[in-house]
Structure 1
Amino acid sequence: MDSSPTQASRERYPPQIKYIIGNEACERFSFYGMRNILTIFLVQYLLVRHVPDDATRQIEAKAVFHDFVSLVYLFPLLGGWLADRFLGKYRTVLWLSLLYCVGHLLLAVFDDNRQGFYAGLFLIALGSGGIKPCVSAFVGDQFTEQNKGLVKGVFALFYWIINFGSFFASLFIPLTLNKLGPSVAFGIPGVLMFIATVIFWLGRRHYTNVPPTGRNPHSFVRVVRDALFPQQKVAGAKSWLDHAASAGHPTEAIEGARAVFRVMGIFAMIPVFWALFDQKASTWVLQARTMDLMVGSIELAPSQLQALNPLMVMLLIPLNSFVLFPFLERRGIQITPLRRMGAGMFITSGAYVLVALIQLTLDGGNKISVLWQAAPYLVLTLGEVLVSATGLEFAYSQAPREMKGTLMSLWNITVTIGNQLVSLVARLNFFTGMAATLFFYAGLVFAAAIVFALIASRYQVRDYFMPGTATPVPDRTVPSSNPVGGERKAL
């Protein structure tokens, strides 16, 4: 066996990777720890003094929670811009992490003050969202041509650590809120975020730092702007985007923008999925609050059932990849990415039918065990795996390298739009009772799944194997160039 230094370097991860992985593990624990108790804290602690009516508190709590999640997935635009244009990835992550720590401190200190607490939520959204696009790219920067084959393994490790951290945060922080109160429950995630920042800082002398790239003269926004308002019309243009050539944009940039618009059609219905998925930390928690929380001699916290989601994700992805999908394909059923996503949206509708039926039982005066929520959690997680773990991976393969960052930003924006939909519906308070709201969302995502299937049936899949090139192919499983995979929680 070749034991040369070059061969050895191919078999080992760069030593600085341990600092980034350690940072990610602690940061994700801190984020999911505070996020998963947020709704129940708002209803049972913060808003009690200001909003006497419990039903009104639930409406405000849902709106605040989903506004917060919306910001978390909007601020990656700012973080990516700062890193690319001015600061570089390392300084962007470090400085925003410090603001992130301050946000956690405000949550722990102002647990009885709305203004102070909401300021903390804003800083956490800014920090968490801002570092989101930087960390994954920063990991990739640490690899060279000699060891680039190890990149996929690193991101697989990231994925498992994230779900592992989310599982234990969801399991223990709700209990901490019940037993020790909000200051400690929010303080522990704050300590973990501080540790995450210190770990990241400790690796400062070892990182490979790619300098900021500065302004991209052929970005998606500039191409679209110059196509809409061209300096002059391009003779023989086949579409409006071709007029961007008059501003000096190369063919590759124009084709990249065209590819983004194609994928935007696939993205159009995805916000409805996120509107349902993220309510497991709001509406589902509020439902659990009214159920029997005793399991034998152990009393669960209403937020604790959320631990089922990351646990089930870790089980379902290998089960789907190595058992279910091969089984279906052996029987001639082709499992393409678009079919997975469409199936996932239909399945998500089923999860909401289940929680709506649980709510009808509760409304009928029956006190049933919170463990009944395990079934809809399983169905919802299957929907997540099919939509989220497939969607970004698929979209990433559908545009050239120069536009992949744009597609990741658009994917994050679908989460923002979905959560704003929930916030709007909560504030308008259209429906009488939780059951009616749950059935509304079940019908909404079912209708969105039908529209998605119609759009997908007309979509021509393209494989971008090299920058600036694309090959139309039949709708099939597309090899991904995205090392992160598609799982939304990933980074």
Structure 2
Amino acid sequence: MQKATAEAPVKKSILPKSVPYIIGNEAAERFSFYGMRSILTLFLVKQFFNPTGDAALSQQADAHANKLNHLFVMVAYALPFVGGMIADWFTGKYKLILYISIVYCIGHLLLAMFDTSLGGFEFGMLVVAIGAGGIKSCVSANVGDQFDASNQHMLSKVYGWFYFSINAGSMLSTVAIPTIYKYYGAAWAFGVPGILMALATVIFFMGRNKYVKVPPQGVNRNNLVFITWYALTHLSKKKPGQSLLDIAKGEYDPERVEGVKAVYRVIAVFFFALAFWAVWDQCLSEWTLYAEKMDRNINLGFTSFVIEPGSMSTFNTIFLLIFIPFFNYVIYPNLDKIGLKTTPLRRLGAGLVLTALSFVVIGFTHESIEHGGTPSMWWQVLAFLILSAAEVLVSITGLEYAYTHSPKSMKSTMSGIWFLVVSFGNLVTALVNSFIEDGGWWAANLKGANYEWFFVAFISAFIILFFFVSPRLKERNYITDPHVDNQVAADTTNL
């Protein structure tokens, strides 16, 4: 015991000097990303696809704008997996964040320059998506790199500030950018996020001498891609009673092969989160179009004002900041006390139910609009409230599940795969809108509120499947059972 005490690191209460630069960079970057997204769909419709407001063109124009928005998000969330591998293998996190941030800034510049040219604007969207996605997986991991055994106890506090900076940046931008768009036009509305992204890059560069820079490790063959590819291309080596991935154990580290199996078990759970991500980003695209046709007047007696359509998503941030501590310190503990243990799978199931319910509210609201009504914005606020609760149950639980149910060697991989689920969800929505844009059966049957009822049915199908499959899903927590990281368990599913 004395020897252990002597070797124990002395705890420090001083934060790494690099932390303020990382927090400042994240706040400015999130301002730029959510700021441009808050007006993107509305701008595309008004500027390019239906500038005259022709009712006959409304459905196809809205679908075209929604498709582009969701394709943009799809690319932005597909690239963190690639960016993480490039940083780990070749460049290191610092160089990749710095260089891709410059690309990010160029993308914003293109949006501001080509606000009257669809081709140039679409190229700008692609460049912004590459910038946002390229750095995404590295920025949060860079926070952890700044800590060692002496100040590890302060990491959760810093991640709290990191998350606060994300929400602060997005909240400010969803209030400011729609207002700038209304009074100063699209060039400034897309230019200001570019200025903030340039500021984010400068802030990050200013901390260059203060970061702990973990060097790249070179190509690591013991990863999910190589192991899976080897197993699929050597099926002839499979022995009776052996799982598919066990084929790779002769060529790769057996512990890493077991880690890949854990990844696929988590992916089986992530599949159900796909339904959530297929609809969540619609609150920043389709819902914005509905908000424009709603009564958004706020009368406080001594003053009155109108909330801009793109600013409605600010309610999502507000509700999240309220719900995260409320669920963690009130809902979950009290449910656990009465015997309803809030396991990750139960949270996910409840989150899917709430997601469907939020779309029921939007569906009735959309029906009112279709019949010539001007429903109150508070109906959309109610939908945001329900969807935000679902986000806590699905999104935050998903990130926690990815961390706790994967071994140390696969935690970065799991974060990248979680972002891929977001990407695939947006691909689903982009495809649906693409079919509507092309006309035919989709356009005829998903007109008006039928669009929402389609997604309610889509989510409901996932919910029904989830209730059948979830009791059979194998769970293995690598945090509560520290020995499982190095053992081969008998109940591993045949992957």
Identify whether the pair has TM-score above 0.5, normalized to the shorter chain.
yes
Listed as ranges, the gaps of 5+ residues in structure 2 are 1-7, 437-441, 490-495
- Distance (Å, rounded) in 2 between the aligned partners of 1:388 and 1:33: 21
Is the contact between residue 275 and residue 422 of structure 1 (CA under 8 Å) also seen in structure 2? yes
Q: How does 1:214-253 map to 2 (within 5 A)?
A: 214-230=218-234, 233=237, 238-247=242-251, 249-253=252-256
- RMSD, aligned CA: 2.1
Q: Which amino acid aligns with 2:463?
A: A
**CA deviation profile, 1:385-425 (whole Å, cap 9, x unmatched):** 10001012112211211112221121111111111111111
Structure 1 counterpart of 2:345, from 338, 363, 367: 338
Q: Which amino acid aligns with 2:27?
A: A
Question: What is the CA-CA distance between 1:36 and the residue it aligns to?
Answer: 1.3
Partner of 2:279: 276
- Structure 1 residues 17 and 433: alpha-carbon distance in aligned structure 2, compared to 1, 3 A threshold: same
Partner of 1:477: none
- Distance (Å, rounded) in 1 between the aligned partners of 2:343 and 2:416: 24
Partner of 2:459: 445
Do residues 317 (structure 1) and 347 (structure 2) align? no
Structure 1 counterpart of 2:405, from 398, 405, 422: 398
Question: What is the CA-CA distance between 1:8 and the residue it aligns to?
Answer: 8.3
Q: How does 1:446-461 map to 2 (within 5 A)?
A: 446-461=460-475
Partner of 1:288: 291
Question: What is the CA-CA distance between 1:237 and the residue it aligns to?
Answer: 5.4
Q: How does 1:6-405 map to 2 (within 5 A)?
A: 10-48=12-50, 53-230=57-234, 233=237, 238-247=242-251, 249-296=252-299, 297-405=304-412
Q: Which amino acid aligns with 2:486?
A: T
Greater CA deviation, 395-404 or 102-111?
395-404
- Structure 1 residues 23 and 182: alpha-carbon distance in aligned structure 2, compared to 1, 3 A threshold: same
Partner of 2:415: 408
Partner of 2:4: none
Q: Which amino acid aligns with 2:362?
A: V
Listed as ranges, the gaps of 5+ residues in structure 1 are 1-5, 473-491
**CA deviation profile, 1:130-168 (whole Å, cap 9, x unmatched):** 000111111111111111111111111111111121111
Is the contact between residue 272 and residue 418 of structure 1 (CA under 8 Å) also seen in structure 2? yes
Q: Which amino acid aligns with 1:220?
A: L
**CA deviation profile, 1:196-247 (whole Å, cap 9, x unmatched):** 0000000111111111011112111111122223397365652121111232
Q: Which amino acid aligns with 1:10?
A: K
Question: What is the CA-CA distance between 1:12 and the residue it aligns to?
Answer: 1.3
- Structure 1 residues 103 and 51: alpha-carbon distance in aligned structure 2, compared to 1, 3 A threshold: farther
Question: What is the CA-CA distance between 1:10 and the residue it aligns to?
Answer: 1.5
- Distance (Å, rounded) in 1 between the aligned partners of 2:175 and 2:100: 27
- Distance (Å, rounded) in 1 between the aligned partners of 2:100 and 2:147: 24
Q: Which amino acid aligns with 2:344?
A: P
- Distance (Å, rounded) in 2 between the aligned partners of 1:300 and 1:136: 33
- Distance (Å, rounded) in 2 between the aligned partners of 1:434 and 1:156: 41
Greater CA deviation, 228-237 or 122-131?
228-237
- Distance (Å, rounded) in 2 between the aligned partners of 1:374 and 1:80: 36
**CA deviation profile, 1:289-331 (whole Å, cap 9, x unmatched):** 1112322331221111100001100000111111122222222
Count of aligned pairs between the two proteins = 468
- Distance (Å, rounded) in 1 between the aligned partners of 2:53 and 2:408: 50
Is the contact between residue 9 and residue 149 of structure 2 (CA under 8 Å) also seen in structure 1? no
Partner of 1:468: 485
Is the contact between residue 463 and residue 470 of structure 1 (CA under 8 Å) also seen in structure 2? no
- Structure 1 residues 380 and 234: alpha-carbon distance in aligned structure 2, compared to 1, 3 A threshold: closer
Q: Which amino acid aligns with 1:469?
A: N
Please report the TM-score for the alignment, with normalisation by the length of structure 1: 0.91
- Distance (Å, rounded) in 1 between the aligned partners of 2:418 and 2:467: 18
- Structure 1 residues 50 and 471: alpha-carbon distance in aligned structure 2, compared to 1, 3 A threshold: farther
Is the contact between residue 351 and residue 394 of structure 2 (CA under 8 Å) also seen in structure 1? yes
**CA deviation profile, 1:414-437 (whole Å, cap 9, x unmatched):** 111111111111111113422001
Secondary structure of 1:423's counterpart equals helix
- Structure 1 residues 203 and 8: alpha-carbon distance in aligned structure 2, compared to 1, 3 A threshold: farther
Secondary structure of 2:92's counterpart equals helix
- Distance (Å, rounded) in 1 between the aligned partners of 2:283 and 2:124: 22
Is the contact between residue 462 and residue 470 of structure 1 (CA under 8 Å) also seen in structure 2? no
Is the contact between residue 446 and residue 454 of structure 2 (CA under 8 Å) also seen in structure 1? no
Secondary structure of 2:486's counterpart equals coil
Q: Which amino acid aligns with 2:48?
A: L
Question: What is the CA-CA distance between 1:469 and the residue it aligns to?
Answer: 2.9
Is the contact between residue 81 and residue 413 of structure 2 (CA under 8 Å) also seen in structure 1? no
Partner of 1:475: none
Please report the TM-score for the alignment, with normalisation by the length of structure 2: 0.90
Question: What is the CA-CA distance between 1:28 and the residue it aligns to?
Answer: 0.6
- Distance (Å, rounded) in 1 between the aligned partners of 2:125 and 2:363: 30
Secondary structure of 1:298's counterpart equals strand
- Distance (Å, rounded) in 2 between the aligned partners of 1:471 and 1:391: 24
**CA deviation profile, 1:29-55 (whole Å, cap 9, x unmatched):** 111000111011111123346996333
- Structure 1 residues 55 and 232: alpha-carbon distance in aligned structure 2, compared to 1, 3 A threshold: closer
Secondary structure of 2:485's counterpart equals coil
Greater CA deviation, 90-99 or 386-395?
386-395
- Distance (Å, rounded) in 1 between the aligned partners of 2:216 and 2:467: 40
